[in-house]
């Protein structure tokens, strides 16, 4: 009991919180001057009121659609128009209003790029038109199919299903059957068992409309069994009702009543007062009137009239009610009052294009005029009824013949296809060994060809890689040669001329000019040393590295410690230049990019190799990303110099964790 009260309290709290939330968004939507904020607030109100507060849902959906169009957000308007159609058509029974709103969005359909939205608008408009004008509904479903894309298969199936239902209601059985079959196949592929049952319902209804009542009963019983297994209890109502209509046509009044009562008892609370419920109750009124049970008929008619607002909003519900009301009034001796409802039924049936209902309306008018004593009018309507019955019978017979001719042709083609498939299977069996041989030979040839291509491709890639490495090494060598030439020209040419100028200035006593020349001479020497390390020839590789470290340590903010072992006379002059450049460029990269405070350089001589390591405490980097970066020439140059020395370059670096460069060079 305590748990129950706790659950109840939580539920009340949740409802109160939800009410507060929706009130907040309503107030925001109604008061804010920001269009974007209003747009978002209305969207929240719509989502929170969906299937909970229809009036709020409809009001804010319409305002949202208007604002979306104003903001040129047509696809957002389309989504809300599609969602709104169900509430207007089936809850408020205002299909014309739904059609108007969808039309206003379709007026700017060229701005809609999503196939689901464009096809969906036509599908929803077709649903609204279904109870108003079947021809327009069929046209809308056809447009939906044209606009849905390949990914919208479930919605294409819906369009086929609804178009099949519309054709079936018009007595056009061939296109109806084709559409039901297409819908069924798509639903089957998608494993949508609920809508597979809907498609099957359509085909069973056509059996009934063509007078194959036993076949319809057999298939309907199977379908009801499947629906019960799948828990689709709400869809069984229409099957009971359709079976009741079949029994009426067969003249079996007790069974007609039995299945009408089954249909009524199967109505769920959600369906109460809906089109199906009104139709079932209206048919019960007609049954009791035919049996002379006017008190029972009056009781049920009162029940029907409690849903007057829904009756007036839906064409099919209006047809059913007018039929029941006119029949009841005519039965109790009030033909003058009955005439108004009979005339309304006739007009509605003609407007909706329901041939069978139009025919029945003429018979009802004949019966009413007969009770009024206007036998001429009664006879005229009776003749019109008979003419329409004959016409409808001929049309139905022709449609039925065409339908079953189609079924026969389809079955014939399927049998021919089965026969052809059997022959093909026999031929395949006879040629199976040959096909297997061809298959294995083909696979072997393909594999051989593939291996040859793979081998050639690997050779090509290897050759290309070697050429690239040779080019890179030649480029480095030519760069060093050019640097050496420029360095020598600077030292021997411009350097010597500057010394002569300096000596002349000394004789003239112009100290300012002499100082400027001294600075220029020093700068030329620095450039010359950077271009080509002459200290390599003068001091050797070990001292040259130590000198470079000392220069950087003294002239920059970077503190450098070092452990340098003697590696003189271990490498050729070209190799020494590349080793020197590796150290120089590594330290240069540290200065430019690492933001480091300290660095350590280590040169160790092993038995078979020299290991140079340069470590810093800088910001680090991701090596793989840097190497892929086209602008990162420094790392690529270091890698090429290492390859030139037949060595290995290792990089250990992480962002914010410093960098270690290690070069292992064979002796």
CATH-assigned architecture of domain 19-151: Alpha Horseshoe (1.25)
Give the integer Cα–Cα distance in Å for 501 and 477: 35
Structure tokens at 136: 């327009």
Give 282's contacts (C-beta < 8 A, 6+ positions apart).
304, 320, 321, 323, 324
Give the integer Cα–Cα distance in Å for 202 and 199: 5
Mean per-residue pLDDT, 155-179: 85
Structure tokens at 140: 């809308």
Mean pLDDT of the chain: 81
Give 325's contacts (C-beta < 8 A, 6+ positions apart).
285, 301, 338, 341
pLDDT tens readout for residues 204-230: 877 777 777 888 888 888 888 888 887
Instruction: Report which of residues 212 and 576 the model is more confident about.
Output: 576
User: By percentage, how much of the chain surpasses pLDDT 70?
Assistant: 81
pLDDT for res 14: 42
pLDDT for res 483: 67
Mean per-residue pLDDT, 368-388: 86
User: By percentage, how much of the chain surpasses pLDDT 90?
Assistant: 22
3-state secondary structure of 168: helix
Q: Assign domain 540-666 to a CATH class.
A: alpha beta
Cα R_g (the chain), whole angstroms: 46
Q: Which of 660, 652, 648, 664 is nearest to 606 (CA)?
A: 664
pTM higher than 0.85, yes or no?
no
Mean per-residue pLDDT, 515-533: 70
pLDDT for res 403: 54
pLDDT tens readout for residues 246-291: 888 888 999 989 998 998 898 888 888 888 898 999 899 899 999 9
Q: Which of 581, 474, 487, 564 is nearest to 526 (CA)?
A: 487
Q: How many helices (H) and strands (E) does the chain have?
A: 28, 5
Domain limits, the chain: 19-151, 540-666
**Which run of H or E residues covers position 550?**
helix 541-555
Instruction: Indicate if the pLDDT at residue 80 is higher than 70.
Output: yes
Instruction: Indicate if the pLDDT at residue 58 is higher than 60.
Output: yes
Instruction: Indicate if the pLDDT at residue 52 is higher than 90.
Output: no
Give the integer Cα–Cα distance in Å for 67 and 87: 20
Query: Residue 543 to residues 449, 585, 600: CA-CA distances in angstroms?
Result: 59, 17, 17
In a 10 Å sphere around its CB, with 0-12 CB exposed, 13-18 middle and 19+ buried, how is residue 587 labelled?
buried
**Which run of H or E residues covers position 598?**
strand 598-605
In a 10 Å sphere around its CB, with 0-12 CB exposed, 13-18 middle and 19+ buried, how is residue 9 labelled?
exposed
pLDDT for res 495: 60
Give the integer Cα–Cα distance in Å for 88 and 328: 31
Instruction: Indicate if the pLDDT at residue 190 is higher than 70.
Output: yes
Structure tokens at 215: 């076949």
Q: Which of 588, 589, 590, 538 is nearest to 568 (CA)?
A: 538
Mean per-residue pLDDT, 381-395: 73
């Amino acid at each position: 009991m305590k748990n129950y009260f706790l659950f109840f309290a939580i539920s009340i709290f949740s409802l109160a919180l939800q009410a507060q939330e929706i009130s907040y968004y309503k107030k925001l939507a109604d008061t804010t001057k920001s269009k974007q904020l209003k747009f978002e607030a209305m969207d929240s109100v719509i989502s929170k009121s969906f299937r909970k507060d229809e009036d709020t849902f409809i009001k804010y959906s319409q305002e949202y659609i208007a604002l979306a169009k104003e903001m040129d957000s047509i696809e957002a308007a389309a989504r809300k128009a599609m969602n709104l159609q169900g509430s207007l058509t089936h809850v408020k029974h205002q299909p014309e209003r739904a059609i108007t709103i969808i039309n206003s969005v379709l007026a700017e359909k060229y701005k809609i790029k999503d196939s689901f939205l464009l096809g969906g608008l036509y599908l929803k408009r077709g649903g609204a038109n279904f109870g108003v004008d079947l021809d327009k509904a069929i046209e809308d479903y056809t447009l939906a199919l044209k606009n849905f894309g390949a990914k919208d298969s479930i919605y294409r199936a819906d369009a086929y299903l609804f178009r099949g239902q519309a054709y079936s209601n018009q007595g056009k059985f061939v296109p109806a059957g084709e559409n039901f079959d297409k819908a069924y196949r798509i639903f089957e592929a998608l494993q949508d068992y609920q809508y597979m049952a809907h498609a099957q319902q359509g085909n069973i209804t056509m059996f009934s409309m063509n007078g194959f009542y036993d076949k319809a009963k057999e298939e309907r019983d199977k379908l009801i069994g499947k629906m019960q297994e799948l828990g689709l209890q709400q869809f069984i109502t229409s099957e009971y009702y359709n079976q009741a209509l079949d029994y009426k046509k067969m003249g079996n009044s007790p069974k007609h009543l039995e299945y009408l009562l089954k249909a009524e008892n199967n109505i769920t609370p959600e369906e109460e007062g809906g089109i199906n419920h009104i139709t079932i109750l209206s048919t019960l009124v007609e049954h009791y009137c035919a049996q002379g049970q006017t008190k029972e008929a009056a009781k049920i008619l009162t029940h029907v009239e409690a849903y007057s607002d829904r009756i007036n909003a839906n064409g099919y519900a209006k047809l059913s009610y007018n039929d029941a009301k006119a029949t009841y009034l005519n039965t109790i001796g009030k033909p003058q009052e009955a005439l108004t409802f009979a005339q309304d039924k006739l007009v509605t049936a003609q407007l909706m294009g329901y041939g069978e209902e139009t025919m029945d309306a003429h018979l009802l008018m004949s019966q009413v005029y007969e009770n009024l004593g206007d036998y001429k009018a009664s006879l005229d309507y009776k003749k019109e009824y008979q003419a329409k019955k004959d016409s409808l019978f001929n049309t139905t017979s022709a449609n039925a013949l065409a339908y079953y001719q189609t079924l026969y042709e389809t079955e014939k083609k399927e049998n021919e296809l089965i026969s052809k498939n059997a022959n093909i299977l026999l031929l395949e069996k006879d040629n199976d060994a040959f096909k297997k041989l061809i298959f294995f030979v083909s696979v072997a040839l393909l594999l051989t060809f593939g291996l040859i291509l793979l081998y050639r491709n690997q050779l090509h890639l290897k050759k290309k890689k070697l050429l690239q490495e040779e080019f890179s090494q030649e480029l480095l060598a030519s760069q060093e040669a050019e640097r050496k030439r420029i360095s020598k020209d600077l030292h021997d040419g411009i350097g010597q001329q500057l010394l002569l100028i300096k000596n002349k200035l000394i004789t003239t006593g112009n100290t300012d000019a002499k100082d400027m020349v001294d600075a220029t001479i020093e700068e030329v020497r620095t450039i010359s040393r950077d271009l080509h390390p002459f200290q390599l020839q003068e001091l050797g590789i070990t001292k040259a590295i130590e000198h470079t470290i000392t220069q950087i340590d003294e002239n920059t903010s970077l503190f450098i410690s070092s452990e340098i072992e003697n590696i003189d006379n271990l490498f050729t002059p070209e190799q020494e230049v590349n080793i020197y450049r590796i150290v120089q460029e590594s330290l240069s990269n540290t200065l430019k990019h690492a933001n480091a405070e300290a660095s350590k350089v280590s040169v160790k001589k092993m038995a078979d190799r020299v290991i140079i390591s340069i470590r810093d405490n800088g910001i680090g980097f991701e090596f793989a990303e840097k190497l892929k970066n086209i602008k990162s020439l420094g790392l690529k140059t270091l890698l090429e110099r290492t390859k030139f020395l037949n060595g290995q370059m290792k990089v250990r670096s992480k962002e914010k964790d410093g960098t270690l460069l290690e070069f292992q060079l064979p002796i």
